[in-house]
Amino acid sequence: MDDTLADPLAGRLLDGRYAVTTRIAHGGMATVYLALDTRLDRQVALKVMHAELARDDEFVRRFIGEAKSVARLSHQNVVAVFDQGADGPFLYLAMEYVPGRTLKEVLRERGRFTPAAALDIMTGVLDGLAAAHTSGIVHRDVKPENVLLTADGRLKVADFGLARAQAAAGHTRTGLLIGTVAYLPPEQVTGEATGPRSDVYSAGVMLFELLTGRQPFTADTPIAVAYQHVNRDVPVPSSLVPGIPPAVDQLVLAATSRDPALRPADASEFARAVRRVREGVGEPSGLTGVMGVGVQGLGEAPWLDLDRPWRDDATARPAGGPGTGPLNPSLSVAAGFGSAGFGAGGFGAGAGGGDGQDPLSSRTLVVHREQGGQYSGGREPFLQRWLFSPRLAVVALIVALGVGLGLGGWWLTAGRYASIPDVADASVSQARTALTLDGFKVARVSPEHSNAVAKGAVIGTSPSGRAAKGSAVTILVSSGPFTSVVPKVSGDALGAAEAALRGAHLTPTVQKVGSNSPVGTVLGTKPSAGTTWPQTKPVTIQVAGGPPIPDFSGQPVQAAEQWASAHDAKLQTQQSQNSDQPNGTIIAQEPAAGSLYKQGETVVVTVSSGPAEVNVPYVIGMSVQQATQALQAAGFKAQVQSFGLGNNPNARVWDYSPVGTAPRGSVIMLDVLPGVGNGGGF
């Protein structure tokens, strides 16, 4: 049954104003509904906090703080917040409804973007973040799932549910880490102060993903991914996708420096650098509506020097600074407290649920740092001071309440969740069995392109990692690799042809072929232009490498000898006794006609020794018709040489030549006289 049918808000008029029509997303902290604002007659997206969390004052404070922070923003690249209120147990935000798709969905569909397209997308994203930074707001959960692309090509940054005003950053609960581990800046993992430079780091990771089609760090657990952000540098994008310009590489590494001081100061400075590099790329991106206007000067930007030669890993990062130490070993992860974000159809599930198309490292998580302090209140031992105190009952009550709250918190954060079995590379039936045995329901089997998993094999599940016990899970099955249309490159320079194929996410290989065109001319591709081709298979660029070897078939052997003498080639002949071609005729050659001739190469030609000699049938006294049939059956051709007094089919053969034996297929000449009657005598 559709979950929407049983939803308590579906079909309800919330707060006397918002007519809820359908649920469009569900996350660990909130559910998103499509609704009609009956007062202003417009569609909105309602983000409603889960009822069990609405009873927690800290969560209520964070929820209302989200509305107050984001409502101050007014920018074309930011999803607007219209209203905030409560209706009984339901706390809600009324937000701009943006029909379209998330950047993550488009990225899954395309595999990766060209440098030009990736920079154009980042321009719109950074403009939205820059507006937030100017207002003192830090997003703290920048990722492709939180970027919407509208039908007309505009970008909007969504889900500032984890945003905090920079001035109030110190009031965040001690030991609480909120974010998506695939994009977390090191300082957010280690518990240091965060700010606009933290959003810059996440945006740099997102640019890496747009360019390469993958996240820089992956691991079996979220905590392992977080550890890599602290202790490892983000790789150079061109090390995974050759052909990315060095300036684009440097943009990524500058934004993802583990030392925040070496990053751009905020999204505005990063956006100016992106525009400057985008001007140098030059090629069209195929995207509309995502670029900002104009290119402002960078001013002093010590974190980016586009004229400096590329740095290796030994000099690309500082030896010390934040993030170089080990990760706090006391960190533990509690999945499912992420905010509901925006997704398919304008909104989708963010962390802990939702569309579930992402690996565990792409889900919004809450990480708690355990506090291990000891008593330090005075010299008198604790037991001596409190054992017989009249306040013991109060303490016991507080402890009991603490245990109860702890158990309740455990149930909300971990107890009601279970690990989803890893079914990658299994068959669909095996995956269905494994999920069912672990208490999950299989909602559906969904095809999804994959360049790494063979067609028909299971890629994984949606959601993955952990989910509520008994919840529905989608099995993702590979529908084969992403495909691209082979572009037309004939007549282009080789470098341009290779770039065109890489821009279509295809891998080029080069083959020199024989041609009378100038050496180096691109002749075409295998497969030909316009063919839909898997991205996992290479495309061969055919380039003129020199004159071709002629076609000697049907020519006398002397023709091959003359060509070999003129081109300093070695000619080797071999005889064939099984050919009907005349003696001395070339019937085959190696290399094949049209192949590239290499100086001094040996060309082998097969020469016919002539057809075999066979017996000629005795046909004297036969009619012309009978003689012709007999000769044809023996492999000869018959031709009448003299017909006497007329064209009479009953005329008799009185002589023929040659006699005895002759080459199969040769012509036998017949001498005839008019016959008498219907075949009787001379």
DSSP 624-671: HHHHHHHHHHTT-EEEEEE-TTS--TTPEEEEEES-SEEETTPEEEEE
**How, if at all, do strands 42-49 and 90-96 pair?**
antiparallel
52 within a domain of the structure (yes/no): yes
- Amino acid 317: pLDDT: 35
Under the banding of pLDDT at 50, 70 and 90, the label for residue 675 is low
In terms of Cα–Cα distance, which of 93, 106, 98 is closest to 77?
98
Same domain flag for 438 and 461: yes
The pLDDT of residue 173 is above 70:
no
3-state helix, strand, coil in the chain (%, to 5): 30, 25, 45
356 within a domain of the structure (yes/no): no
Bigger pLDDT: 356 vs 610? 610
Under the banding of pLDDT at 50, 70 and 90, the label for residue 396 is low
- Among residues 458, 481, 504, which one ends one of the domains? 481
628/633 Cα distance (integer angstroms): 9
Under the banding of pLDDT at 50, 70 and 90, the label for residue 213 is very high
Under the banding of pLDDT at 50, 70 and 90, the label for residue 222 is confident
Under the banding of pLDDT at 50, 70 and 90, the label for residue 587 is confident
The pLDDT of residue 352 is above 80:
no
Bigger pLDDT: 396 vs 326? 396
CB 129 within 8 A of CB 65: no
Bigger pLDDT: 281 vs 525? 525
Under the banding of pLDDT at 50, 70 and 90, the label for residue 6 is low
Same domain flag for 130 and 244: yes
Structure tokens belonging to residue 420: 């989803």
Under the banding of pLDDT at 50, 70 and 90, the label for residue 113 is very high
DSSP-derived secondary structure for 205-234: HHHHHHHHSS-S---SSHHHHHHHHHHSPP
78-85: Cβ within 8 A, 24+ apart: 78/128, 78/131, 78/132, 78/156, 78/157, 78/160, 79/148, 79/156, 79/157, 79/158, 79/159, 79/342, 82/37, 82/44, 85/15
DSSP type of residue 383: H
**Mean local confidence (pLDDT), 124-148:** 90
Residues in the chain: 682
The pLDDT of residue 393 is above 70:
no
- Amino acid 386: pLDDT: 37
- Among residues 574, 589, 608, which one ends one of the domains? 608
Containing structural domain, residue 57: 1-97
Express as a percent the part of the chain with pLDDT over 70. Answer: 73
**Mean local confidence (pLDDT), 519-533:** 92
- Amino acid 172: pLDDT: 41
Same domain flag for 110 and 253: yes
Q: Highest mean pLDDT range out of 281-290, 587-596, 642-651, 673-682?
A: 587-596
312 within a domain of the structure (yes/no): no
Same domain flag for 258 and 149: yes
In terms of Cα–Cα distance, which of 206, 256, 203 is closest to 228?
256
- Amino acid 263: pLDDT: 95
- Amino acid 363: pLDDT: 53
230-260 per-position pLDDT tens digit = 899 999 999 999 999 999 999 999 999 999 9
The residue from 127, 141, 266, 355 that is catalytic is: 141
- Among residues 278, 301, 324, which one ends one of the domains? 301
Run of H or E residues at 49: strand 42-49
Indicate the burial class of 314 (C-beta count within 10 angstroms; 0-12, 13-18, 19 or more): exposed
CB 338 within 8 A of CB 350: yes
Dump strand ranges (E) for 479-625: 483-485, 508-514, 522-526, 532-534, 539-546, 570-576, 586-590, 602-608, 613-615
**Mean local confidence (pLDDT), 362-378:** 40
404 within a domain of the structure (yes/no): no
- Amino acid 30: pLDDT: 76
**Mean local confidence (pLDDT), 595-622:** 85
- Which residues, 6 or more positions from 584, have their beta carbon under 8 angstroms from its beta carbon? 556, 557, 558, 607, 608, 610
346/128 Cα distance (integer angstroms): 17
403/255 Cα distance (integer angstroms): 44
What CATH number has the domain bearing residue 617? 3.30.10.20
DSSP-derived secondary structure for 156-188: EE---TT-EEGGGGGGSPTTEEEEEGGG--HHH
Under the banding of pLDDT at 50, 70 and 90, the label for residue 147 is very high
- Amino acid 649: pLDDT: 63
Q: Which of 5-14, 484-493, 526-535 has the lowest mean pLDDT?
A: 5-14
- Amino acid 169: pLDDT: 33
Same domain flag for 104 and 197: yes
The pLDDT of residue 382 is above 50:
no
- Amino acid 494: pLDDT: 92
* Backbone dihedral angles phi then psi of residue 5, each to the nearest 5 degrees: -65, -30
21-60 per-position pLDDT tens digit = 999 877 666 788 999 998 888 999 998 887 776 677 766 7
Same domain flag for 539 and 425: no
289-348 per-position pLDDT tens digit = 443 333 333 334 444 444 443 333 333 333 333 333 333 322 322 222 233 333 333 343
682 within a domain of the structure (yes/no): no
374 within a domain of the structure (yes/no): no
Active site residue 141: yes
Same domain flag for 36 and 143: no
The pLDDT of residue 610 is above 70:
yes
Domain count, the chain: 6
**Mean local confidence (pLDDT), 70-92:** 86
Q: Is the dihedral of CA 450, 453, 456, 459 positive or negative?
A: negative
What CATH number has the domain bearing residue 78? 3.30.200.20
Mean model confidence pLDDT for the chain = 76
Same domain flag for 115 and 205: yes
The pLDDT of residue 625 is above 80:
yes
213 within a domain of the structure (yes/no): yes
Same domain flag for 568 and 441: no
Under the banding of pLDDT at 50, 70 and 90, the label for residue 287 is low
540-555 per-position pLDDT tens digit = 999 988 888 888 888 8
Structure tokens belonging to residue 516: 């009378």
490 within a domain of the structure (yes/no): yes
Run of H or E residues at 276: helix 267-281
Q: Which of 162-171, 367-376, 614-623 has the lowest mean pLDDT?
A: 367-376
H helical segments located in 282-427 = 313-316, 382-386, 392-410
- Amino acid 326: pLDDT: 32
- Amino acid 346: pLDDT: 38
The pLDDT of residue 411 is above 60:
no
- Amino acid 192: pLDDT: 83
Same domain flag for 162 and 252: yes
- Amino acid 232: pLDDT: 92
- Amino acid 674: pLDDT: 64
The pLDDT of residue 517 is above 70:
yes
- Amino acid 300: pLDDT: 40
Same domain flag for 247 and 120: yes
Under the banding of pLDDT at 50, 70 and 90, the label for residue 201 is very high
- Amino acid 176: pLDDT: 46
Q: What's the pTM?
A: 0.48
Same domain flag for 90 and 56: yes
Q: Which residues pair with 461 in a beta bridge?
A: 475
503-515 per-position pLDDT tens digit = 888 999 999 988 8
